[in-house]
């Protein structure tokens, strides 16, 4: 039996290779509007990004307010807006 080794190269794009904070903020704010929550600033969103979309929503609106449907709605909104302003960091 011949084994063909596989090599993988993974990148963490958001916040590492690309600046996606503006599009994340837009998406969170559109969700905030739907949920009746206060809007967030991009500077604040930069401080709560990390550990996935579920954690992002919990940090944005409070863990006690989290509903699974919010995650799906956020992902739907972000899917529409993920390339509006996202760009590579200089030198990438």
Q: State pTM to two decimals.
A: 0.84
Mind listing the pLDDT tens digit for each residue in 57-69? 999 999 999 999 9
Domains along the sequence of the chain with CATH: 18-86 (1.10.150)
User: SS3 for 84?
Assistant: coil
Catalytic position from the list 12, 19, 23, 51 = 12
Mind listing the pLDDT tens digit for each residue in 67-81? 999 999 999 999 999
Mind listing the pLDDT tens digit for each residue in 36-63? 999 999 999 999 998 999 999 999 999 9
pLDDT at res. 65:
92
- The answer to whether the CB of 14 falls within 8 A of the CB of 61 is no
- The answer to whether the CB of 48 falls within 8 A of the CB of 62 is no
Confirm whether 19 is a catalytic residue. no
Residue 54, Cβ density class (10 Å: 0-12 exposed, 13-18 middle, ≥19 buried):
middle
Residue 3 has pLDDT above 70, yes or no: no
């Amino acid at each position: 039996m011949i084994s063909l080794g596989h090599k993988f190269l993974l990148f963490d794009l958001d916040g590492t290779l690309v600046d996606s904070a503006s599009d994340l903020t837009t998406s969170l704010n559109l969700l905030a509007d739907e949920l009746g929550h206060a809007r967030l600033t991009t500077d604040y969103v930069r401080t709560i990004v990390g550990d996935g979309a579920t954690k992002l929503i919990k940090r944005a609106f409070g863990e006690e307010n989290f509903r699974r449907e919010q995650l799906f709605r956020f992902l739907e909104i972000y899917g529409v807006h993920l390339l509006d302003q996202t760009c590579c960091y200089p030198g990438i």
